[in-house]
Structure formats: C-alpha cells, structure tokens
Amino acid sequence: MADPMRIRAQVAGDKATVRVLMAHEMETGQRKDAAGKTIPAWHIQDVTAQHNGKTVMTAQWGPAVSKNPFLQFNVKGAKVGDKITVSWVDNKGEKRSDEATVS
C-alpha cells in the first residue's frame, strides 16, 4: 500500500480549510528511461473527499498533476471534531484512504 496522506483540516470562521498532501509518483507516461523506453503512466485518477461520511467533492486527475500532489479546499460549516476523509484510486487500481479530524 502506498504511503499515508498528510491531511490537515483547520477551522477558519464558518468553514474549514483542508490541505492534503498525497504520496504518489504521478508518472506522466511521457518520460523515457535510460534505455529509451517510455515509462508507463502511473497517476491518481479519482479523488474523493468526505465530510462526516458525506461526499463533498470528487475529482478526476490527469498525469499533469504534480508528483506528490497537493490539494486545498474549503468545507463549509465544518466544526472542530468533524471528520474529513480523503481517498484516491490510481490507474493501476491502487487505493488509499486517510482520515483527519478538524481542529
């Protein structure tokens, strides 16, 4: 399984700012290795964010998202103690899901 994500969710007024740092290679499929062979694409395709179990955002990513992707979004009405869950699936079918508590 892939390395855990780092998720930080902080209350700012009536919303919470969520910052996520995922650990993923995000290979574009454009680069070539030393032997001149194309390195196959390997990137996160689907991202889902949940607030207390309710999906608030989904995303589809292409290979143009940077290595070890960063994502920031604001959840309206989130309070201290709420749970934020972020999960992703890559094009090889690997998955990762992590949870953080709003502080």
Partner 1 sequence: MQNRREMLSRSAQVAAMLVAVGLVPGWAQAQAAGYNSAAFAAKTLPELMKSLGAGAPAESKDVSVTGPDIAENGAVVPIGAATALPGVKRLLILVEKNPAMLAAIFDVTDAIEANLSTRVKMGQSSDVYAVAMMNDGKVLFARKEVKVTLGGCGG
Binding mask 35-74 for partner 1 (x = CB under 8 A): ----------xx--x-x--xxxxxxxxxxxxxx-xxxxxx
Residue 3 C-beta: closest distance to partner 1, Å: 17
- Looking at the DSSP bridge assignments, the partners of residue 70 are 21
C-alpha–C-alpha distance, residues 64 and 56, integer Å: 23
Cβ(43)–Cβ(63) below 8 Å: yes
Number of other CB atoms surrounding residue 7 within 10 Å:
19
Of the candidates 5, 75, 86, 100, which one interacts with partner 1 according to CB under 8 A? 75
Interface positions with partner 1 (CB under 8 A)? 15, 26, 28, 30, 45-46, 49, 51, 54-67, 69-77, 89, 91, 93
